[in-house]
């Protein structure tokens, strides 16, 4: 990985999304999304403990805390070298926009007494090198920040950051220094790359911008465009393929959605009716089946009375069947007396 040059600066950079301000004597590094960061820091005295932290070295902010010569945790790594000076190298691979922020690294006899050096990483969302003629476009939300790197082959001694044509009030920043800030607009120059930033974006920031580097005999520029929309899922982003009912004014999709909702309601209602009908039929069938069993009833003494039918063999009866009622069902194995209910015409 390439070790980037460092800038000792008093550049006051106020980036949104939780990034800290750069104060006096802090070291500023510019990188690009997807790239790798590696930087070395010298310390006057050796140390057993090596630390690499985000912001203050406490709690979950400690990325690496080791006594080994080298160590790695995820995308973060640390390496100690002694070549006349005590050098500590820290690295972050596959940078993302969220990696922008303040970091610390240090050496010490213990993790609590380590001598720390602070530095700031600013990750640009793109590096414009002029090889692509197509205008680079950025879609951002209100309240966010944008940092763009403009790479130039020829050196320069004066930098501009402009909105639209670089004339009059359109000039946002004009400086001969390696860093400068005007309100929400920032410039930083590092190793042939001019980095420009806009913090706390608003919808009125939408438009075309230019970063320009002018030398003694040359002037070069890189252009890009920004569209800022309201934050949140309801925001409509330029170039998005998602249809917007509010913008098009079409009623076809709402009508289709309403029809689909009615159809779904009808289907669910029919299913409920079918299920209830099936349950009703099942209950009726169970009741009918149970009614076909032997009917019994209890008397006052706890014995059962049964209706028994016998075939009538008595001559002279006008009906073939006579009904006999058992007077003592408990004594079926003994002699029993039956009363004949004879029908006379």
**Residue 7 CA: distances (Å) to CA of 11, 30, 46, 257, 298:** 10, 9, 24, 58, 106
**Residue range 26-64, pLDDT digits in tens:** 678 889 999 999 999 888 877 788 999 998 888 999 999
**Residue range 95-134, pLDDT digits in tens:** 998 999 999 998 887 767 778 899 999 999 999 988 877 8
Pair 119, 145 in one domain = no
Domain that holds residue 108: 7-124
Of 88, 109, 124, which marks where a domain is finished?
A: 124
Of 124, 149, 180, which marks where a domain is finished?
A: 124
**Residue range 233-259, pLDDT digits in tens:** 644 444 433 333 233 344 444 455 567
- Does the structure show a pLDDT above 50 at 224? yes
Q: How far, in Å, CA of 131 to CA of 339, rounded?
A: 122
CATH number of the domain encompassing residue 60: 2.60.40.10
When divided into structural domains, the chain yields a total of 2
Pair 112, 140 in one domain = no
Buried b (16+ CB within 10 A) or exposed e, 319-338: eeebebebeeeeeeeeeeee
Pair 24, 76 in one domain = yes
Pair 120, 130 in one domain = no
Q: Please enumerate in sequence order all residues whose Cβ is within 8 A of that of 171, keeping only pairs 6 or more positions apart, or say none.
A: 160, 161, 162
Query: Does 211 reside within a domain?
Result: yes
Supply the pTM of this predicted model: 0.56
Of 124, 150, 178, which marks where a domain is finished?
A: 124
253: Cα within 13 Å, side-chain hemisphere: 8
């Amino acid at each position: 990985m390439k070790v980037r040059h460092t800038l000792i600066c008093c550049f006051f950079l106020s980036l949104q999304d939780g990034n800290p301000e750069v104060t006096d004597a802090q070291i500023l590094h510019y990188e690009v999304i997807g790239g790798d960061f590696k930087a070395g820091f010298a310390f006057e005295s050796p140390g057993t403990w090596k630390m690499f932290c985000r912001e203050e070295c406490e709690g979950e902010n400690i990325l690496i805390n080791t006594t080994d010569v080298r160590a790695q945790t995820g995308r973060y790594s640390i390496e100690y070298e002694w070549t006349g000076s005590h050098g500590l190298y820290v690295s972050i691979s596959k940078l993302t926009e969220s990696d922008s922020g303040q970091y610390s690294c240090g050496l010490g006899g213990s993790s609590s007494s380590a001598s720390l050096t602070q530095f700031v990483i600013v990750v640009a969302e793109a590096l414009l090198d002029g090889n692509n003629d197509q205008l680079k476009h950025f879609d951002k939300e209100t309240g966010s920040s944008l940092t763009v790197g403009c790479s130039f082959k020829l050196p320069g001694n004066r930098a501009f950051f402009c909105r639209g044509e670089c004339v009059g009030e359109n000039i946002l920043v004009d400086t001969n220094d390696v860093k400068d800030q005007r309100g929400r607009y920032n410039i930083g120059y590092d190793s042939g790359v001019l980095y420009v930033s806009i913090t706390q974006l608003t919808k009125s920031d939408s438009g075309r911008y230019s970063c320009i580097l002018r030398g003694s005999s040359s002037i070069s520029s890189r252009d890009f465009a920004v569209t800022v929309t309201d934050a949140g899922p309801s925001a409509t982003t330029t170039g998005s393929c998602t249809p917007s009912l509010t913008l098009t004014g079409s009623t076809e999709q709402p009508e289709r959605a309403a029809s689909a909702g009615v159809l779904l309601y009808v289907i669910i209602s029919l299913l409920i009716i079918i299920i209830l009908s099936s349950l009703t039929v099942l209950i009726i069938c169970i009741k009918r089946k149970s009614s076909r069993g032997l009917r019994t009833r209890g008397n006052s003494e706890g014995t059962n009375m049964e209706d028994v039918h016998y075939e009538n063999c008595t001559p002279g009866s006008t009906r073939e069947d006579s009904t006999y009622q058992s007077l003592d069902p408990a004594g079926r194995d003994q002699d029993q007396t039956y009363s004949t209910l004879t029908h006379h015409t």
